[in-house]
Amino acid sequence: MSVSVKAIACTPGLHRYLVHHGRAADPLLEELARVTRAAVPELAHMTLPLEEATLLTFLANLTAARTVVEVGMFTGSSTIALARGLPADGRVLTCEIDSRFLELSAPYLERAGVADRVDVRVGPALTTLRSLPPAPHLDLVFIDADKPSYIGYWEELVPRVRPGGLLIVDNSLFSGEVVSPEPGTKAAAVHAFNEHARADERVELVMLNVADGITLARRLDEQDREE
Ligand SMILES: C[S@@+](CC[C@H](N)C(=O)[O-])C[C@H]1O[C@@H](n2cnc3c(N)ncnc32)[C@H](O)[C@@H]1O
């Protein structure tokens, strides 16, 4: 395949530039990232990058989302970013298996002014998703939890997203390891998901080489699919 490659390696200097000019600097989320590093240093790499937080808020606004489901809250950076893009009566239902993170995230949800828009469901996300109404009622979903379950989350969520609604999937390039993943690894699970999503005719999708890779998928309706 002879296509030109235009992606730019993101050096620390370029990342600072991107955060500054992309209006991603955010004292509250930066403080939350510091508190997360201090509390759970071994897990702090899971915190959403600032530029991705800006993107989530932007996309929630752009799609005029009101009803959002998130899979994988951790200490709440993405939850805050999504909730900030909703109207006052909008809601983010977020799934998190580890209740330890709730105490950490709660004051930041309050300070961000979005606590009343967020409904945290503690437990395995698949159980929570299966308890949701089956009809297509979601405007936006964000998938960012255990990689081997990505296909399961997708299969629960695609039918529940309204036509024109948006699915956002994080880590879809998984540090670049998806190109030739070792069998049985998280990268292999993400690659299997990427193959699954690519073949799914219920959506149109685009992959962004942003942060660790982000897949955006728009739910099609029957009319879109006939064209
Ligand atoms: C990558 S982190 C999410 C990061 C978060 N979106 C943020 O902005 O900081 C993934 C989270 O998914 C949670 N998780 C893992 N397996 C899960 C499951 N089966 N159900 C629900 N949450 C799960 C983990 O405890 C972790 O907090």
The DSSP bridge partners found for residue 167 are 141, 217
Q: Does domain 12-226 have CATH number 3.40.50.150?
A: yes
Q: Tell how far the Cα of 162 is from the centroid of ligand 1, in angstroms.
A: 24
Tokens of 102: 């709730």
- In the chain, which residues have pLDDT < 70? 1-2, 227
Question: What whole-number distance in Å separates Cα of residue 80 and Cα of residue 77?
Answer: 5
CA-36 nearest atom, ligand 1:
9
The response to whether residue 40 sits with its C-beta less than 6 Å from ligand 1 reads no
Alpha carbon distances (Å) from 148 to 2, 5, 107, 190: 33, 29, 31, 7
Q: Distance (Å, rounded) from C-alpha 87 to C-alpha 90?
A: 5
Task: Please tell me the predicted confidence (pLDDT) of residue 1.
Answer: 61
Query: 34: which 2 tokens?
Result: 């510091």
Cα–ligand 1 centroid distance for 126 (angstroms): 12
For every residue of the chain, which 3-state class applies, written as one string? CCCCCCCCCCCHHHHHHHHHHCCCCCHHHHHHHHHHHHHCCCCHHHCCCHHHHHHHHHHHHHCCCCEEEEECCCCCHHHHHHHHCCCCCCEEEEEECCCHHHHHHHHHHHHCCCHHHEEEEECCHHHHHHCCCCCCCEEEEEECCCHHHHHHHHHHHHHHEEEEEEEEEECCCHHHHHHCCCCCCHHHHHHHHHHHHHCCCCEEEEEECCCCCEEEEEECCHHHHHC
pLDDT digits 0-9 by tens, 34-93? 999 999 999 999 999 999 999 999 999 999 999 999 999 999 999 999 999 999 999 999
Question: Whose Cα sits closest to atom 19 in ligand 1?
Answer: 124
Which atom, in ligand 1's list, is nearest to the CA of 81?
8
The reply to whether ligand 1 has any atom less than 6 angstroms from the CB of 30 is no
Centre of ligand 1 to C-alpha 165, Å, is: 22
**Between vectors from CA 157 to CA 156 and to CA 161, what angle results, nearest 5°?**
140
Whether residue 94 has its Cβ less than 6 Å from ligand 1: no
**How many residues comprise the chain?**
227
pLDDT at 158: 98
Sheet holding 214-219, edge to edge: 118-122, 91-96, 67-71, 138-143, 161-170, 214-219, 203-208
